């Protein structure tokens, strides 16, 4: 275990928040996790695991130990000797592997299932925590199992996908924060059926390739998703951000109808017979927040869901702006927005209350 002291975390979070970790270490294998656990027990200090840093807001110097996930191997299946045609294969990926690189490599190997999740930032280990999703596809659609290290007990175990309690941007891992994901297993299809139910995907495929969406290849779907996301979301390397800052709220059918009468043009999607998902970006945009700037923080000029920093902004400034937006939406729409990234102070995770 190569322990470092007073390390700036600015390079390890996409909001470029310049807070320090009292202790810092890279995790290269399970032996490192065992050593780090013993250190934290001996020092009685808190710990925090960071991957790509694209889904967290650091508001203070961290008083304990920060781990950076460096386990980054991927195990593709060896070509089978059988002449029987296969309709799928499984791949095992360690938590520190780059997510979008995994998507790109899966397509090169003729597999599909991940292309709609292209250009989502971060590491593989963060994917199950959020049950990442985009354009009609979620991680749970391909996930088979997750390998976990319990930091409280020091035990490692396997969790089947069915036991991960996946929901919209939610999973069991949010309720067991001592569980560290070390690797995942995915089942990828060799019989491509494009998921192009979102109109913007179909339209973009047509524009980029001239192909009818229903006949699009996995690469054409990926190209379309990359084109859309690049146009909508700023690159954190250019403008510090964590992508969508708020989840799309889910409301009852009656609430949706009430809002639609009050706000013509309301953007909502049915997710069942009695519930609708509202477009949080639309709600925020209607209240004039898009393009708002105050001091070192603001709302992106093209995407109302994205809060941005200047590179010298603080986590407190980001959260103060988020609170103002939450309060405004609650007052005008009667809808409570939920923050999507995880929030940390000097001792650990906390939750933003209105």
User: By the 8 A CB rule, do 13 and 50 touch?
Assistant: yes
**3-class SS of residue 47:** strand
| Beta bridge partner(s), residue 308 | 241, 298
Of 307, 314, 240, 339, the residue nearest 61 (C-alpha): 314
Point out the catalytic residue in the list 37, 169, 222, 342. 169
Point out the catalytic residue in the list 222, 244, 317, 342. 244
Cα angle 2, 173, 307; round to 5: 85
Q: Is 340 a catalytic residue?
A: yes
Residue with tokens 């280990």: 125
Q: Is 244 a catalytic residue?
A: yes
**3-class SS of residue 139:** helix
Of 195, 260, 230, 2, the residue nearest 100 (C-alpha): 230
**Euclidean distance between CA atoms 179 and 151, whole angstroms:** 6
User: By the 8 A CB rule, do 14 and 52 touch?
Assistant: yes
Q: Which residues are catalytic?
A: 169, 244, 340
């Amino acid at each position: 275990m190569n322990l470092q002291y007073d390390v700036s975390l600015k390079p390890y979070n996409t909001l470029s928040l310049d807070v320090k970790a009292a202790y810092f270490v890279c995790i290269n294998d399970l032996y490192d996790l065992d050593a780090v656990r013993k250190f934290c027990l001996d020092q009685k200090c808190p710990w925090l695991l960071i991957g790509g840093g694209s889904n967290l807001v650091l508001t203070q110097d961290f008083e304990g130990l920060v781990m950076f996930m460096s386990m980054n191997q991927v195990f593709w299946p060896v070509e089978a000797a059988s002449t029987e045609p296969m309709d799928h294969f499984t791949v095992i990926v360690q938590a520190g592997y780059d997510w979008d690189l995994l998507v790109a490599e899966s397509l090169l190997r003729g597999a599909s299932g991940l292309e709609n999740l292209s250009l989502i930032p971060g590491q593989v280990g963060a994917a199950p925590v959020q049950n990442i999703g985009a354009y009609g596809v979620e991680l749970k659609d391909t996930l088979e199992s997750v390998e976990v290290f319990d930091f409280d007990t020091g035990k490692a175990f396997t969790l089947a996908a069915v036991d991960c309690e996946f929901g919209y941007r939610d999973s069991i891992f949010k309720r067991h924060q001592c569980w560290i994901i070390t690797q995942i297993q995915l089942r990828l299809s060799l019989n491509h059926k494009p998921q192009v139910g979102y109109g913007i995907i179909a339209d973009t495929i047509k524009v980029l390739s001239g192909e009818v969406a229903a006949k699009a290849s996995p690469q054409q779907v990926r190209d379309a998703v990359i084109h859309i996301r690049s146009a909508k979301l700023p690159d954190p390397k250019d403008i510090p951000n964590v992508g969508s800052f708020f989840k799309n709220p889910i409301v009852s059918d009656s609430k949706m109808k009430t809002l639609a009468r009050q706000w013509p043009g309301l953007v909502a999607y049915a997710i069942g017979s009695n519930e609708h998902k509202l477009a949080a970006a639309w709600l925020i945009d209607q209240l004039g927040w898009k393009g708002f700037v105050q001091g070192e923080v603001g709302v992106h000029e093209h995407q109302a869901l994205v809060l941005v920093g200047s590179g010298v902004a603080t986590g407190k400034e980001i959260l103060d702006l988020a609170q103002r937006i939450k309060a405004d939406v609650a007052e005008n729409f009667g809808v409570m927005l939920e923050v999507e990234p995880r929030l940390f102070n000097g001792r650990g995770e906390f939750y933003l209350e209105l």
